[in-house]
């Protein structure tokens, strides 16, 4: 089914609803990132607590529970990596929605309604925010999650190697978490939402017949 030109009134109503919904989605992605990190921290705290208890019990009772402890920590590490992927993906969604809001605002403010000058310089650029901003709150949460994963990996290796080697592995893991994340986010710039999210153009297009 084809559609004709959209009237100005219908267009205004659509843009108004879209602007409000985009704000809701932006807040949702931001809160979801925070919730993921909080949930991961709580989970890691519980896992490490169980691991320490099992380790101390095995030493006291002369029972080898190290394999069980390692298995629990490994499951936790895999869980943390998956949560990291969710956070990075949500960052991509967040940026595209934020850029859409800026584009809405720029269109509206271009005509200086009621003489409004936007003297405060509120965001109107559809090219911002950047996908990766080292000082943003979401980047800090990514660093925190990377650190948690690295600590877990260090805990996994602790019974099998010297402390300094375990620490070195943890640092290497931290770099291995952060560096690919930065590269991935930076490569999302100058791409359409379809290309950046799905890897192909036109993935989200709907053809009405």
**pLDDT attached to residue 136:** 93
Averaged confidence pLDDT in the chain:
88
Q: Quick check: 124 and 105 in contact, CB under 8 A? A: yes
pLDDT of residue 201: 73
pLDDT bracket for residue 139 (50, 70, 90)? very high
CB 198 within 8 A of CB 179: no
**82-93 burial code (b ≥16 CB/10 A, e <16):** ebbeebbebbbb
Residue 207 burial (C-beta neighbours within 10 Å; 0-12, 13-18, 19+): exposed
pLDDT at 3: 58
- Reported pTM: 0.87
pLDDT 10s digits, 8-53: 788 888 888 999 999 999 999 999 999 999 999 999 999 989 988 8
pLDDT of residue 209: 35
Q: Give the pLDDT of residue 208.
A: 37
Q: What percentage of the chain exceeds 90 in pLDDT?
A: 53
Domain extents in the chain: 10-113+121-198
């Amino acid at each position: 089914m084809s559609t004709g030109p959209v009237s100005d009134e219908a267009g205004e109503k659509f843009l108004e609803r879209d602007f409000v919904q985009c704000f809701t989605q932006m807040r949702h992605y931001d809160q979801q990132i925070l919730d993921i990190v909080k949930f991961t921290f709580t989970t890691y705290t519980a896992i490490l607590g169980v691991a320490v208890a099992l380790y101390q019990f095995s030493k006291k009772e002369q029972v080898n529970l190290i394999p069980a402890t390692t298995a629990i920590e490994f499951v936790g590490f895999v869980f943390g990596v998956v949560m990291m992927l969710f956070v990075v993906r949500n960052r991509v969604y967040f940026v595209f929605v934020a850029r859409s809001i800026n584009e809405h605002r720029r269109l509206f403010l271009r005509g200086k309604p009621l003489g409004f000058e936007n003297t405060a310089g509120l965001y109107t650029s559809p090219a911002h925010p950047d996908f990766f901003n080292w000082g943003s709150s979401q980047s800090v949460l990514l660093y925190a999650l990377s650190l948690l994963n690295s600590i877990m990996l260090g805990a996994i290796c602790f019974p099998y190697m010297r402390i300094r080697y375990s620490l070195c592995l943890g640092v290497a893991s931290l770099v291995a978490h952060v560096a690919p994340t930065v590269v991935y986010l930076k490569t999302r710039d100058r791409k359409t939402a379809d290309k950046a999210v799905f890897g192909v153009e036109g993935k989200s297009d709907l053809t009405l017949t």
